[in-house]
């Protein structure tokens, strides 16, 4: 009897749920049959929503940029971010939509306003991909999210300011100039390495070299890159990285940094992917992918360990064995004075970050300078005449290194340098900020809170209102024509960023360039191997340049 009741109950239960099972079964079959139609419809609907439902729908730009981040990822991956933005603004005007929630501006006035210190325009999640995530530093920290409470915003701004206050001391121009003798040593060694590429004849110049064959080809761009790295090694850690001595990229260290910058640039457009890639703990088990094994990082850690313990500040503690105080030693002093605000992790991240932030950017600027000078015969003739005249009248020394004050007296050289930084700034990616939560009015348009506001130096520096109708041309004279106009142009230069996040290493970069470039122009003659070939520039973060191949010859006393 009980068995019969159980059977009846079971049959009743099966009968009661069979419609549900039937519905699920039909639904699964339907999905299986129609997924090929439904999925594209859902994707299309989402893309259409992003394109047409956005408050940015009225702004022109590439189609794919309006509904996804595909355009930005592709542009960065191909290394064309700088030129792509220049072309976009020429085609679409001063405000261009480059992502569903992002617009790009061509106005230097807008950039100056958005980047100004004290404004509530916060960094975007692009900076999430920059290591070290556990210890954001003055180079990569994110100040806040869009809807951060005001008290927390004030706190994060204050923390950044405190870190930067400590780091600013060793990065000041006064501190950098104290390190000039050690930069000079690297300059001297650089000159000795270039000597091997000069014609064997003691007679100066190309035409008088007295040899039938062409001089050796030298990749000046690579040697400038090696020089920039070795100077940073001396300044930061009291030791050269050895690239000039080796004459090649040791352990592919430069290539590794370039690849890291490429990763940052591309994945920074879709930072969520970073958790699957570089921050994936499984990948850290592969030694080749462990950043701590890289040459620059190893040297930084070695120097940190040499100078332990940090508990007490002693005479010469943290300094190079020759008694010189390098950047790392100065940062250790800052840590000892204020351990709470500038802790040990800050010491490492600032010193280590200086190499990543300063090497490629300084090298790129020098490469641009020489290519622009040498590819413009009128400019090369003028800058050579200025240098030769300065030697003859004693404004600069005729032998040995050129000091800071001497370089500043070369007005045409300074104009050439400013013009190179204007036309080909070292950073090719956008400077992007969130609009504050209440929104912002720019160029007569209102942008809601959280809108990404992008500005690219390659675009800003080509503004005709500020820089003239010939802003696309390399013309150093624009900096000498009118002193007041030059001051206006200077206000709207963003080669080192702007506001509270202006590059802390700018003084070192400028000092370095003023040390080596006038010396090269004084002592050597240069010719481009192929004057018709463009300098190849790849912009996935910093502008990595290739192809600065030249012939080089010593100058003679008659020309100096």
- Under the banding of pLDDT at 50, 70 and 90, the label for residue 144 is very low
* C-beta of residue 204 within 8 angstroms of C-beta of residue 555: yes
CA-based R_g, the chain, Å: 29
Which H or E element spans position 92?
helix 81-92
CA dist 505 and 438 (Å) reads: 34
Q: Is 416 annotated as a binding residue?
A: no
Least confident of 52-61, 143-152, 396-405: 143-152
Tell me the pTM: 0.86
- Under the banding of pLDDT at 50, 70 and 90, the label for residue 146 is very low
Q: What is the mean pLDDT of the chain?
A: 84
Q: Name residues whose C-beta falls within 8 Å of residue 307's C-beta, 6 or more positions apart in sequence.
A: 317, 318, 328, 329, 332
DSSP class of residue 555 equals P
Q: What CATH topology corresponds to 128-559? A: Cytochrome p450 (1.10.630)
- Under the banding of pLDDT at 50, 70 and 90, the label for residue 543 is very high
Residue 318 has a pLDDT of 47
- Residue 385 CA to its chain's centroid (Å): 33
> pLDDT tens across 438-469, in order?
999 999 999 999 999 999 999 999 999 999 99
Q: Which residue has the higher pLDDT, 258 or 283?
A: 258
Q: Which residue has the higher pLDDT, 315 or 63?
A: 63
Q: Name residues whose C-beta falls within 8 Å of residue 21's C-beta, 6 or more positions apart in sequence.
A: none
Q: Which residue has the higher pLDDT, 11 or 362?
A: 362
Residue 138 has a pLDDT of 60
Cis ω before 309 (30° cut-off from 0): yes
How many degrees, rounded to 5, is the angle at CA 157 between CA 453 and CA 426? 50
- Under the banding of pLDDT at 50, 70 and 90, the label for residue 203 is low
Q: Where are the alpha helices (DSSP H) in 492-547?
A: 506-523
What are the sequence ranges of the domains in the chain? Answer: 128-559
Residue 34 has a pLDDT of 61
CA dist 32 and 291 (Å) reads: 45
Torsion of CA 377, 378, 381, 385, to 10 degrees: -160
Average pLDDT, integer, range 293-297: 72
Is pLDDT at 211 greater than 90 in this prediction? no
Is pLDDT at 140 greater than 60 in this prediction? no
- Under the banding of pLDDT at 50, 70 and 90, the label for residue 51 is low
419 burial level (CB within 10 Å; 0-12, 13-18, 19+): buried
Helix (H/G/I), strand (E/B), else coil: 445: strand
Average pLDDT, integer, range 113-124: 85
Q: What is the dihedral sign for C-alpha 512, 513, 514, 520? A: positive
- Under the banding of pLDDT at 50, 70 and 90, the label for residue 537 is very high
Token pair belonging to 80:
């064309």
- Under the banding of pLDDT at 50, 70 and 90, the label for residue 244 is very high
Which H or E element spans position 525?
strand 524-528
Q: What is the dihedral sign for C-alpha 372, 404, 544, 269? A: negative
Residue 6 has a pLDDT of 46
How many degrees, rounded to 5, is the angle at CA 237 between CA 231 and CA 241? 50
- CA distances 381 to 71, 123, 393, 527, Å, are 43, 44, 18, 12
How many degrees, rounded to 5, is the angle at CA 16 between CA 12 and CA 22? 130
């Amino acid at each position: 009897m009980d068995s019969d009741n159980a059977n009846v109950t079971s049959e009743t239960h099966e009968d009661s749920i069979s419609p549900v099972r039937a519905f699920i079964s039909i639904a699964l079959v339907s999905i299986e049959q129609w997924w090929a139609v439904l999925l594209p419809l859902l994707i299309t609907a989402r893309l259409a929503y992003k394109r047409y439902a956005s408050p940015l729908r009225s702004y022109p730009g590439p189609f794919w940029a309006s509904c996804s981040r595909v355009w930005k990822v592709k542009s960065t991956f191909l290394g064309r971010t700088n030129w792509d933005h220049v072309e976009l603004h020429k085609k679409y005007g001063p405000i261009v939509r480059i992502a569903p929630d992002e617009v790009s501006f061509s106005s230097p006035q807008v950039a100056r306003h958005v980047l100004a210190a004290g404004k509530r325009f916060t960094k975007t999640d692009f900076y999430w991909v920059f290591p070290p995530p556990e210890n954001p530093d003055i180079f990569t920290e994110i100040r806040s999210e869009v809807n951060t409470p005001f008290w927390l915003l004030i706190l994060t701004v204050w923390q950044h300011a405190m870190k930067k206050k400590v780091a600013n001391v060793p990065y000041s121009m006064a501190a950098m100039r104290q390190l000039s003798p050690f930069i000079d040593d690297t300059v001297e060694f650089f000159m000795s390495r270039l000597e091997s590429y000069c014609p064997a004849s003691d007679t100066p110049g190309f035409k008088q070299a007295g040899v039938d064959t062409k001089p050796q080809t030298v990749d000046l761009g690579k040697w400038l890159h090696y020089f920039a790295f070795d100077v940073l090694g001396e300044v930061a850690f009291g030791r050269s990285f050895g690239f000039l001595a080796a004459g090649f990229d040791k352990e592919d260290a430069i290539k590794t940094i370039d690849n890291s910058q490429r990763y940052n640039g591309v994945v920074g457009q879709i930072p969520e992917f970073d958790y699957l890639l570089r921050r994936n703990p499984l990948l850290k088990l592969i030694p080749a992918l462990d950043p701590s094994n890289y040459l620059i990082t190893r040297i930084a850690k070695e120097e940190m360990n040499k100078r332990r313990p940090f508990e007490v500040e002693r005479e010469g503690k943290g300094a190079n064995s020759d008694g010189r105080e390098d950047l790392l030693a100065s940062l250790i002093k800052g840590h000892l004075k204020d351990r709470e605000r500038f802790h040990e992790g800050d010491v490492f991240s600032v010193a280590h970050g200086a190499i990543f932030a300063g090497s490629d950017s300084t090298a790129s600027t020098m490469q641009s300078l020489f290519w622009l000078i040498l590819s413009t015969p009128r400019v090369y003739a003028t800058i050579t005449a200025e240098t030769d005249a300065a030697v003859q009248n004693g404004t600069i020394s005729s032998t040995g290194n050129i000091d800071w004050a001497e370089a500043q007296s070369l007005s045409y050289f300074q104009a050439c340098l400013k013009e190179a930084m204007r036309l080909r700034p070292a950073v090719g990616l956008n400077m992007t900020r969130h609009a504050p939560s209440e929104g912002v009015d720019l160029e007569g348009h209102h942008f809601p809170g959280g809108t990404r506001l992008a500005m690219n130096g390659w675009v800003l520096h080509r503004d005709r209102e500020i820089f003239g109708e010939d802003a696309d041309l390399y013309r150093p004279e624009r900096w000498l024509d009118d002193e007041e106009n030059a001051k206006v142009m200077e206000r709207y230069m963003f080669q080192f960023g702007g506001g509270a996040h202006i590059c802390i290493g700018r003084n070192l970069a400028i000092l370095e360039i003023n040390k080596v470039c006038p010396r090269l122009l004084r002592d050597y003659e240069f010719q481009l191997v192929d004057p018709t070939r463009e300098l190849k520039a790849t912009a996935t973060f910093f502008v990595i340049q290739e192809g600065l191949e030249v012939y080089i010859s010593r100058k003679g006393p008659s020309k100096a």
